[in-house]
Chains A and B, each alone.
Chain A
Amino acid sequence: MLHEPLHAGRLRLRNRVVFTAHLTGYATDGLPTPRHTAYYAARAAGGAGLVITEEHSVHRHDRPYEKLIRGHDPAVLPGYRALTDAVHAHGAVVLAQLNHNGPQSSGLYSREPVRGPSAVPDPMFREVPVAMTEADLDEVVAGYALTARHCVEGGFDGVELQCSHASLVRCFLSPATNHRDDAYGGTLENRARLLLRIVAAVRRELGDRVLGVRLGGEEGIEGGIGLDEGVALARLLEGTGEVDHLNTSIGVATASLHLIEASMHTPADYATFIPSAIRAAVRVPVIAVGRFTEPAVAEQALVEGHCDVVGVARGQIASPDFAAPGGPTRVCVGCNQECVGRVGMNQPLGCAVNPRAGHESVALPMPAVPRRVIVAGGGPAGLRAAATAAGRGHRVTLYERGRLGGQLALAALAPGRGELAHVVRDLVAECERAGVEIVRGEPGDLGGADVVVLATGARPARRWPGALDVRDVLDGAAAPTGAVLVVDELGFHHATSVAELLAARGCTVEIVTPGMVVGQDLGLTLDREGFRRRAHAAGIRLTTDRLVTAVEPGRVTLVHHPTGRTETREVDAVVCAVPAEPDDALWSTLRDRPGVHRIGDCLAPRRMDAALRDGERLAVNL
């Protein structure tokens, strides 16, 4: 079904795959850029039936983040036309998402107070909004109409109204944020009044173009919109006769973002109950979202009747050809490192497993001369370099003395991290398709090589005699029992996932870090809430602000650095998650030979995304 066309009223799609709206951080000075154009065009070229762009703000006071598209500004038109022409050239339908973020926003950029239904501060932005007056609402409705007009002039096939997880309309719809006692507050009909005014005003501008609405069906916050109200709203919207599709959403971007952009720990298909309930109540096409990582999962949602169209954002970031007949070349594993993690830090969106994501506008002329390339090391950096180099016509041999996938393959053995194995699987498959010769063993004679790529990784730092490394636990070299102290200096999944593994085996586990937060960067990938829940259930103790000063048999000494207080722990084992050491012995012998390069951890031990990026960058520059 995934590849069947959809003809439903004004919405006519070549297949059932939509690239749903998500922030990219590609805008400059409020305008769409060539980076946007190339990014969306690549997904259209890859086969997406429908592309819905990131939100376009409808009012100048609405500037929740720096790199926002200001759809209310007529200066967007040239960028709109370039974007829509490029997507249309590949046969996809393209909608602009329109939004006003209301109180889920900041006055930092607008230098204005934020506005909302009531003076209820957002839990993340924490600014008190001005309760909007009727005139304020008129202005916002006019802003939607103006922006819709720009979209029509700019060649969009229609618009989608963002009325879920981060929007003024949501804040009006949700009893948690709408405390008004006027015609815009109280009953569902009143709370939906602003939405219905916007629908009417936007329809007037659109003519017979597509008008979609994205609704939430479970906000996951106290007093928020639940499924019943989501379904009732869907009926209300269908009743207007103006709405061509209903997209769905779960969570609130500024309170329960981990529900919206769920990580690898959340099963695929987790939010399908919402479109399913809505589809049962209305006749307009319904879009499902929620970690549809592989086409088969999307197919199943369609076949089971939960939805008419499937939203795939991260899956198509990772693999623009998700909707191609041959299926995707790689899958999104829900690591959230470079998409969610970067956008949340005001950085342009990327992808850990697809280093090209967001760089589609940079041309890569094919190399004039094919070269003979030897890659030493089959971890993520080496595999990426080999696959890309071979795909660009070079003759590549990759040597790996142990297990393909390097540390990534090990990390995949930890609880909840199994999808990391897909990265290795996809890289190896890409190498095989591109004709990389993979040899098990050490690289021998380098004489014939034009280029030698050292991707030999990193080895555990052995800081304290007797202490184990997380890798010892994962690869089975050690199986600690009893009381285990996990020492975390990396602040990511290394310590937390191994702690979970050991707790599940019956160990009594404490994670100790010199930092202020255990697993600090889990916040970036939206894994913190889930980890803290699981850790609580497993009885894992989380301790901050402690430096390890001595490790003796059975006993560890810690210093609480804010106070200088010394503590001890009686433990059976110590497991370290500390910076690794580059395994760069080959570099010291080969550094003066021309054409030798280091990539990945053997250059500087970092994370998966850096390894893949290093490999890609080197290979495209050969």
Chain B
Amino acid sequence: MLTSPLQLRGRSAPSRILFGPHVTNLGRGRALTERHVAYYAERAVGGCGVIVTEAASVHGSDRPYERAPLASSCRDGWRAIRAACPDTLVLAGLGHAGSQGSTAFTGQALWGASRVPDVVSREVPQVMEQPEIDALVAGFASAAAEAAAAGLDGVEIQAGQHSLLRQFLSGLTNHRPDTYGEDRSLLLREVVGAVRAALGPDHVLGLRLCCDELAPWAGITPTSAHALLTTPLPDLPASRALASRESRSELRRVAPSASASREFLQRESGAPGPRVGSSDPASRHVEDTESAVPGDAATLAQLVDYLVPVRGSGLTVPATRPDLHTPPGFNRPLARSFLGLGVPIVLQGSVVDPDMAEEELGAGVALVEMTRAQIADPRLVAHVRAGTPERIRPCTLANQHRARDPRNPLITDEAEPRSGHETLDPALPLEPNGAAGELLVVGGGPAGLEAARTAALYGHRVRLVERAPQLGGALRYAAAVHGRSRFGLLVEWWERELDRLGVEVTLGVEVGREDLTGDVVLATGSVPSPAALVAAPDVVVLPAGEFEAAVLAAAGPRRPSDPPTSEGTAAVLPAGTHVVVHDPIGDWTGVGIAEQVAAAGLPCALVTPDAVAGTQLSRTGDLAEANARLERAGVARELFTRLRSAGGGTALLTDVHHGAAREIPCTVVIDCAHRLPDDGLWRGHEGLLRGGHLATRAAGTPDSRCRNSRLAGAQSATRGGSQRDSGEHGARLAGAESATRGGSERGVAARLVVAGDCVAPRTVHEAVREGRRAVHCLRSSAGVVSAHGPSRDSSRVS
């Protein structure tokens, strides 16, 4: 059913999966670009049924972020997307962020329903008067007309998160004394009417509507949303208070007047007919459901072709697309409660699993929005269609690569770095092809796993050697952090992929320099850095990774996505322990570990130099909630603070600004500081290729003299003296015998490329990117292996 077509306004969507509107930063100025085209085309080719493009502002007063599209600048982009997605329904997302916008790029006051400052920006908006309201309605209508003229199948009106239309609907933000306050849905009805009139009967009009602001004291509730959708529409006030103003004629020029659109609507709704249809018998009851509503009096629900119920207000922005702390499919009850209103319902809300989508389609929803799941894997629908859903790359829902950030990052995914970079990064083969040479991958963390997978897809015979008894590397530990078990799904996916692609995996074997022969990708990960604090012998200092390794060991064998129990944590931290989590980075690790410790029932403090805990979580949307969770869990947040030393049962803290010192109880420090590269195998190696990501045009060999002597103590590997002078070109395969080398290596030709944390410890995203890049680098460099034949003696490794 997920893969069966769906009819909307006589237009056919090839599947029941929708790619929702979201910020991409792929624009230039305020226009859509070839990057957008490639991004959406990738999802269309992958089988997506309906694509709603990045929401475009319908009026110049709105520029919620620098690269927010402006509808009047989108015509060419919409056309190009249309052409690139011929079989998919493509709708233009249209909106106005109102008081949730930004003044940074317009320099003008925000527009709002009332003088209620946005919680995040604290900007007080200008209260819209009739001219602004008229301009807004006209803007929606002309943008819709523009989208239709560009060949799109229709539009989706944004009345969900970040929308002026929601702000008018909500008692939180609409305190107006006029008709738009007495009837808070009036503006939405005017906009829907004007857009329908502009689109005509043959185009799709979708509505993304906030149906629960999670603020029952004044906000939209499911009950009020239900009433809004089902109350028979009053006649739109054709002679609105200020209808005689100049702007009215302006409006009329762009779009038929409200009364005209009302006539149009009545004409349309006179013969509503089933607007959802399918050749799939399993979906019949959907038609039944949708046509079951008697339809004499038109309701708002009947004026639109589909409804996406979403949740969240300006007080709870992250609740709309929450991170992995919220279970997938959280909106299922909400969506189901809107079935039977005569309008097809789209289920939105962290849906990432095709089985869940299938189940909800069976229960009567018409479409399922799977936006982040298709950022993670553009071929999601194609895999379902092919009967290979196990090959879908899991979506972590971690939101770590969300584009809504002042730095304007491009949209992408934790484990699919090509997303958002379709015009920059080459596509990988879909199936193994060709017959390339052999490749040794050292290290079974994300970088090594993705290198092995990539090489196998290019037809290499791949052998992956991992020193641990299982695959996953640091990702297993990352997935053990409280609330982050979805990261384990990636490990399980890579295990399936390597198995499918016939990669030979050797576990529990340490690789030495002498084992590096032929083409090699080194992805040996990281080691802890020495603790930055002074710790007395009576204090246990555990690096975060080693802490989670111990917890996993204590918790016993389990799938990577199966989080360790509190007992596992408690086994590592005995009763009576006072834990101080040292977090100089401010990402998800310190916060998660503090929650983990608290969940095990132990007193815990989180020490951060920042103003808040987990400062980097502002990008994921979890910042405020993470801090609130810590408060509720009883974790002491030691803000603006440095951990200086620990011993004798206490830790000494100082304020980062005024230096005042204080002591807190402490017997164990869990250190979430940066790790250091485990680069012993590659530093100074002559066969190192530059071009993966270590340097570019000029090639050269790293020199062990540059090792960081103060920090090197933490690392096991040490090597002989300097190997080479600068300027020699490592891209050439080094001579077999290197007189100055440490001596244990044999004269075996090798080409090395390095990837991931063994270069610089970062996240899974960089590891995947570099794992792929390593293989591309080997493939595009002069083929040593083909020149010399397959590498010799590789069986020595085991």
Q: Interface of A with B (CB < 8 Å)?
A: 60-61, 65-66, 107-108, 111-114, 117-121, 123, 126-139, 142, 179-185, 342, 345-347, 489-491, 516-517, 520, 523, 528-529, 532-533, 536-537, 545, 560-563, 579-582, 591, 603-606, 610, 613-614, 617
Q: Report chain B residues within 8 Å CB of A183.
A: 705
Q: A537-B658, A581-B115, A604-B109 are in contact. Are A134 and B706 (CB under 8 A)?
A: yes
A sample of 16 inter-chain contacts (CB < 8 A) reads A107-B762, A117-B706, A119-B676, A119-B708, A119-B760, A128-B762, A131-B708, A133-B703, A135-B726, A136-B700, A179-B709, A182-B707, A347-B66, A536-B660, A561-B628, A579-B115
The CA of A342 and the CA of B103, in the complex, are separated in Å by 11
Q: Do the beta carbons of B103 and A532 come within 8 Å of each other?
A: no
Q: Do the beta carbons of A138 and B727 come within 8 Å of each other?
A: yes
Q: Do the beta carbons of B700 and A603 come within 8 Å of each other?
A: no
Find the B residue at minimum CB distance from A139.
Answer: B698
The CA of A107 and the CA of B759, in the complex, are separated in Å by 13
Q: Report chain B residues within 8 Å CB of A142.
A: 698
Find the B residue at minimum CB distance from A355.
Answer: B107
Answer yes or no: B690 CB below 8 A from chain A CBs. yes
Known: A128-B762, A135-B701; 8 extra A-B contacts, CB below 8 A, are A114-B760, A136-B700, A536-B660, A562-B632, A582-B115, A603-B109, A603-B126, A604-B126
Instruction: Point out which of A342, A490, A563, A606 has the most chain B C-beta atoms below 10 A from its C-beta.
Output: A606
Find the B residue at minimum CB distance from A616.
Answer: B107
In the assembled complex, how far is the CB of residue B547 from the closest CB belonging to chain A, in whole angstroms?
A: 19
The CA of A60 and the CA of B104, in the complex, are separated in Å by 28
Per-position binary interface string of chain B over residues 240-251, scored 1 when its CB falls under 8 Å from any chain A CB and 0 otherwise: 000000000000
In the assembled complex, how far is the CB of residue B167 from the closest CB belonging to chain A, in whole angstroms?
A: 15
In the assembled complex, how far is the CB of residue A131 from the closest CB belonging to chain B, in whole angstroms?
A: 5
Q: Do the beta carbons of B657 and A135 come within 8 Å of each other?
A: no
Q: Report chain B residues within 8 Å CB of A128.
A: 674-677, 760-762
Per-position binary interface string of chain B over residues 677-718, scored 1 when its CB falls under 8 Å from any chain A CB and 0 otherwise: 100000000000010011111111111011111110000000
Find the A residue at minimum CB distance from B640.
Answer: A532
Q: Do the beta carbons of B676 and A135 come within 8 Å of each other?
A: no
In the assembled complex, how far is the CB of residue B51 from the closest CB belonging to chain A, in whole angstroms?
A: 26
Q: Interface of B with A (CB < 8 Å)?
A: 66, 103-105, 107-110, 115, 117, 122-127, 129, 406-409, 417, 584-586, 609, 611-612, 616, 623-624, 627-628, 631-632, 640, 655, 657-658, 660, 674-677, 690, 693-703, 705-711, 725-727, 730, 759-762, 766, 769
The CA of A139 and the CA of B727, in the complex, are separated in Å by 10
Q: Report chain A residues within 8 Å CB of B706.
A: 117, 131-134, 180, 182, 184
Q: Report chain A residues within 8 Å CB of B760.
A: 113-114, 119, 127-130
Interface SS of chain B: helix, strand, loop or mixed? Answer: loop
In the assembled complex, how far is the CB of residue B726 from the closest CB belonging to chain A, in whole angstroms?
A: 4
Q: Report chain A residues within 8 Å CB of B762.
A: 107, 113, 127-128
Q: A131-B707, A179-B709 are in contact. Are A347 and B105 (CB under 8 A)?
A: yes
Q: Report chain B residues within 8 Å CB of A111.
A: 417, 769
Q: Report chain B residues within 8 Å CB of A114.
A: 760
Instruction: Point out which of A128, A180, A532 has the most chain B C-beta atoms below 10 A from its C-beta.
Output: A128
Q: Do the beta carbons of B624 and A532 come within 8 Å of each other?
A: no
Partner of A606, one of B105, B123, B697, B705: B123
Q: Report chain B residues within 8 Å CB of A137.
A: 726
Q: Do the beta carbons of B700 and A179 come within 8 Å of each other?
A: no
Q: Do the beta carbons of A532 and B124 come within 8 Å of each other?
A: no
Q: Do the beta carbons of B695 and A533 come within 8 Å of each other?
A: no
Find the B residue at minimum CB distance from A66.
Answer: B408
Partner of B695, one of A127, A139, A610: A139
Q: Report chain A residues within 8 Å CB of B657.
A: 528-529, 532-533, 536
Q: Do the beta carbons of B407 and A130 come within 8 Å of each other?
A: no
The CA of A185 and the CA of B690, in the complex, are separated in Å by 24
Q: A113-B759, A133-B706, A523-B611 are in contact. Are A107 and B766 (CB under 8 A)?
A: yes
Q: Do the beta carbons of B708 and A180 come within 8 Å of each other?
A: yes
Q: Please list the 6 inter-chain residue pairs (A to B) with the smallest Cβ-Cβ separation, ordered nearest first.
A: A135-B700, A182-B705, A134-B726, A562-B628, A181-B709, A133-B702
Q: Do the beta carbons of A604 and B676 come within 8 Å of each other?
A: no
The CA of A560 and the CA of B632, in the complex, are separated in Å by 11
Q: Report chain B residues within 8 Å CB of A605.
A: 124
The CA of A562 and the CA of B126, in the complex, are separated in Å by 30
In the assembled complex, how far is the CB of residue B246 from the closest CB belonging to chain A, in whole angstroms?
A: 10
Q: Do the beta carbons of B611 and A517 come within 8 Å of each other?
A: yes
Q: A134-B726, A135-B726, A582-B115 are in contact. Are A536 and B711 (CB under 8 A)?
A: no
Q: A107-B762, A562-B627 are in contact. Are A126 and B700 (CB under 8 A)?
A: no
In the assembled complex, how far is the CB of residue A140 from the closest CB belonging to chain B, in whole angstroms?
A: 10
Q: A128-B674, A536-B655, A537-B658 are in contact. Are A136 and B708 (CB under 8 A)?
A: no
Q: A532-B640, A532-B657, A610-B103 are in contact. Are A516 and B612 (CB under 8 A)?
A: yes
Q: A60-B696, A134-B700 are in contact. Are A126 and B406 (CB under 8 A)?
A: no
Q: Do the beta carbons of B707 and A532 come within 8 Å of each other?
A: no
Find the A residue at minimum CB distance from B117.
Answer: A579
Instruction: Point out which of A181, A184, A617 has the most chain B C-beta atoms below 10 A from its C-beta.
Output: A181
Find the A residue at minimum CB distance from B709.
Answer: A181
Partner of A65, one of B123, B407, B616, B705: B407
Q: A131-B708, A345-B104 are in contact. Are A490 and B122 (CB under 8 A)?
A: yes
Q: Do the beta carbons of B407 and A66 come within 8 Å of each other?
A: yes
The CA of A552 and the CA of B711, in the complex, are separated in Å by 58
In the assembled complex, how far is the CB of residue A325 from the closest CB belonging to chain B, in whole angstroms?
A: 33
Instruction: Point out which of A66, A184, A614 has the most chain B C-beta atoms below 10 A from its C-beta.
Output: A66
Partner of B711, one of A112, A119, A123, A528: A119
The CA of A284 and the CA of B148, in the complex, are separated in Å by 67
Q: Report chain A residues within 8 Å CB of B105.
A: 347
The CA of A180 and the CA of B170, in the complex, are separated in Å by 60
Q: Do the beta carbons of B693 and A119 come within 8 Å of each other?
A: no
The CA of A47 and the CA of B129, in the complex, are separated in Å by 46
In the assembled complex, how far is the CB of residue A356 from the closest CB belonging to chain B, in whole angstroms?
A: 12
Q: A113-B762, A128-B677, A128-B760 are in contact. Are A563 and B631 (CB under 8 A)?
A: yes
The CA of A390 and the CA of B407, in the complex, are separated in Å by 39
Find the B residue at minimum CB distance from A60.
Answer: B696
Q: Report chain B residues within 8 Å CB of A134.
A: 700, 703, 705-706, 725-726
In the assembled complex, how far is the CB of residue B474 from the closest CB belonging to chain A, in whole angstroms?
A: 13
In the assembled complex, how far is the CB of residue B165 from the closest CB belonging to chain A, in whole angstroms?
A: 20
Q: Report chain A residues within 8 Å CB of B675.
A: 128
Q: Report chain A residues within 8 Å CB of B406.
A: 345-347
Find the A residue at minimum CB distance from B729.
Answer: A135
Q: Report chain A residues within 8 Å CB of B127.
A: 604
The CA of A138 and the CA of B728, in the complex, are separated in Å by 11
Q: Report chain A residues within 8 Å CB of B766.
A: 107, 113
The CA of A348 and the CA of B769, in the complex, are separated in Å by 31
Q: Do the beta carbons of A121 and B628 come within 8 Å of each other?
A: no
Q: Report chain B residues within 8 Å CB of A182.
A: 703, 705-707
Q: Report chain A residues within 8 Å CB of B693.
A: 112-113
The CA of A390 and the CA of B658, in the complex, are separated in Å by 49
The CA of A117 and the CA of B701, in the complex, are separated in Å by 16
The CA of A142 and the CA of B698, in the complex, are separated in Å by 10
Q: Report chain A residues within 8 Å CB of B115.
A: 579, 581-582, 604
In the assembled complex, how far is the CB of residue B287 from the closest CB belonging to chain A, in whole angstroms?
A: 46
Q: Do the beta carbons of B409 and A108 come within 8 Å of each other?
A: yes
The CA of A262 and the CA of B429, in the complex, are separated in Å by 54
Q: Report chain A residues within 8 Å CB of B586.
A: 126
Q: Report chain A residues within 8 Å CB of B585.
A: 126
The CA of A131 and the CA of B703, in the complex, are separated in Å by 10
Partner of B674, one of A126, A180, A185: A126
Q: Do the beta carbons of A180 and B702 come within 8 Å of each other?
A: no
Q: Do the beta carbons of B674 and A121 come within 8 Å of each other?
A: yes
Q: A107-B766, A180-B708, A182-B705 are in contact. Are A613 and B408 (CB under 8 A)?
A: no
Q: Report chain B residues within 8 Å CB of A346.
A: 66, 406-408
Partner of A533, one of B628, B658, B707: B658
The CA of A134 and the CA of B702, in the complex, are separated in Å by 7
In the assembled complex, how far is the CB of residue B30 from the closest CB belonging to chain A, in whole angstroms?
A: 13
Q: Report chain A residues within 8 Å CB of B676.
A: 119, 128
